[in-house]
Structure 1
Amino acid sequence: MPPRRQAPPASATTSAQAPSRLIDARIEELADWRGQMLARLRALIKEADPDVIEEWKWRGVPVWSHAGILCTGETYKNVVKMTFAKGARLDDPARLFNSSLDGNTRRAIDLHEGDEIDEKALKALIRAAMALNTSATR
């Protein structure tokens, strides 16, 4: 019988790791196309901004930040919603935004089962959100 694995001591888990682990758990918990979509979005966010910080807010919403919130990854029964905190101020030449279009601040991308992601355009949007957050005109 293999030895029982022990959990690392609490001191070994940093607060920066906890949100990432919670996002891992959410992806695993979903166990369907929504988990796969959230995992893909997460990977694209990290590719676009390797310095992004993962957070867990509002009782279970994955949040990606860099000098402020870039976007969130909400999961619902029929949609994975990627909401950009300052989306109304971002150029979207590929017209990825398809939700929350009437507000003055946020914009969102609703992704449904089977939707394809324009990876190049999405990474450009993420980089634009990062640039906006780090600019002097925030």
Structure 2
Amino acid sequence: MSSDWRVARVDEIRSLINKAAPDVVEEAKWKKASNPDGVPTFSLDGLICTVETYKAKVKVTFAKGGSLPDPAGLFLPATGVRRAIDTEEADVLDADAFVALVQAAVALNQG
């Protein structure tokens, strides 16, 4: 398995976030020795989501995911304020559903 798929997936996610929220601000936070590049965070009138890269998955965590509609079922089963989407190498991300989640997150932040 090549690790290159994770870079491509993060680029895909970044592109979809920018499509959904053109004014989004991306910052790298929480830099440490084991992750010198930090965690990409995306904000617009508040935190929208973070994107974390692991060995076998890329995880997108929505700060207020528990308050967002998820008709496509992208979120992992969970309860609480934050909700996450895990994608593995063979997964195909539903771009339209993901864009809708980002747009709903922005709308919630702008409340």
Same fold (TM over 0.5): yes
The CA deviation string for residues 13-54 of structure 1, in whole angstroms up to 9 with x for no partner, is xxxxxxxxxxxxxxxxx9610000000000000000000000
- Higher relative contact order at CA 8 Å, sep ≥6: structure 1 or structure 2? 2
Aligned length: 104
Listed as ranges, the matches of 1:79-94 within 5 Å are: 79-94=57-72
Identity %: 52
Alignment of 1:121-132 (within 5 A): 121-132=97-108
Partner of 1:49: 21
**1:113: which partner in 2?**
89
Any stretches of 5+ residues in structure 1 without a counterpart?
1-29
- Please, which runs of 5 or more residues in structure 2 have no aligned partner? 32-37
SS of residue paired to 1:97: coil
Q: Structure 1-normalised TM-score?
A: 0.73
Q: In angstroms, what is the RMSD of aligned CA positions?
A: 1.3
What is the TM-score with the length of structure 2 in the denominator? 0.90
Higher strand share: 2
How far the C-alpha of 1:114 sits from its partner, in A, is 1.5
CA distance in 1, matches of 2:51, 2:81: 17
- Out of 76, 79, 86, the residue aligned to residue 98 of structure 1 is 76
